[in-house]
């Protein structure tokens, strides 16, 4: 659990500072393993100069083998999801870096203090706009595991999305609890954001594309661009397919 010596910085306003600390800070001994995780997920301290943050560390070594995802890539997908969220300007994913840690290379994500009793299933209508963002985001990154508990309410009531390690597959595998907008038009502003980032990804010399080239396979980036094109063409949220369409368990 978080301790009193940790410094509370609030993303996304402090993203650059948080990313610098996560990248260059010294990682302390694990403060415990997070519950309900199928992989090795540790809550750690990361300290740089006088600032100490809490972070969620998912090592490549601790990833379980999946039949449909290449071994040792989940931490890269976690990091790629952060970069896509930040590029879109939606800031749904907490600051995340890929670095060496206590158990080797892994993703290190800023820990969002939250009430574990709150989730997607407890949200009220005030979150509809950000949920529209999250639904579009999950479609873009092909999220196969948007459980209700992967929606966190952080400080000031901000909604965050976590656990994107099984995303960016080349085959459509969208599994989510957020089907509230199925078939509805995607807001114009969100489509403008998607088109802007699509143009960046098409250019191999752009920093975003160079970053994703280091994290994902070329075929996965091609599939990502294809999903974005489809979204821009249809301009509506996807309908449920043959299935499975929802993760299990849903929380």
**What predicted TM-score, i.e. pTM, was given to this entire model?**
0.93
**Under CATH, what is the fold of the domain 15-234?**
Transferase(Phosphotransferase); domain 1 (1.10.510)
How many other β-carbons are positioned within 10 Å of the β-carbon of residue 199?
A: 11
Q: What percent of the chain has pLDDT over 70?
A: 92
Can you give the pLDDT at residue 123?
A: 97
Domain ranges of the chain: 15-234
pLDDT < 70: residue spans in the chain: 1-8, 10, 12-14, 32-39
| Mean pLDDT, rounded, of the chain | 92
Determine the straight-line distance between the first and last CA of the chain, rounded to whole angstroms: 21
For residue 146, what is the DSSP state? B
Can you give the pLDDT at residue 83?
A: 98
Can you give the pLDDT at residue 34?
A: 63
pLDDT tens, 160-193? 999 999 999 999 999 999 999 999 999 999 999 9
Can you give the pLDDT at residue 9?
A: 73
Q: What would the 3-class secondary structure string for 20-56 be?
A: HHHHHCEECCCCEECCCCCCCEEEEEEEECCEEEEEE
């Amino acid at each position: 659990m978080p301790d009193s010596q940790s410094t509370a910085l609030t993303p996304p306003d402090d993203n650059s500072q948080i990313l610098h600390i996560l990248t260059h800070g010294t990682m302390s001994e694990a403060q415990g393993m997070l519950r309900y995780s199928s992989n090795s997920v540790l809550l750690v301290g990361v300290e740089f100069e006088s600032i100490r943050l809490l972070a969620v560390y998912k090592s490549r070594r601790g990833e379980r083998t999946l039949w449909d995802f290449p071994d040792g890539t989940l931490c890269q997908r976690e990091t790629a999801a952060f970069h896509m969220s930040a590029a879109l300007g939606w800031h749904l994913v907490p600051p995340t870096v890929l670095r060496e840690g206590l158990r080797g290379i892994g993703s290190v994500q800023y820990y969002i203090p939250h009430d574990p009793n709150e989730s997607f299933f407890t949200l009220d209508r005030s979150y509809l706009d950000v949920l529209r963002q999250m639904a579009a985001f999950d479609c873009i990154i092909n999220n196969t595991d948007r459980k209700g508990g992967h929606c966190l309410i952080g400080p000031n009531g901000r909604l965050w999305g976590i656990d994107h390690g099984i995303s960016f597959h080349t085959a459509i595998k969208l599994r989510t609890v957020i089907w509230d907008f199925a078939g509805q038009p995607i807001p114009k502003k969100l489509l403008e954001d998607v088109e802007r980032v699509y143009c960046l990804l098409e250019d191999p010399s752009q920093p975003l594309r160079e970053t994703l080239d280091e994290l994902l396979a070329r075929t996965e980036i091609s599939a990502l661009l294809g999903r974005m094109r489809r979204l821009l063409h249809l301009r509506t949220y996807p309908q449920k397919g043959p299935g499975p369409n929802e993760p299990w368990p849903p929380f």
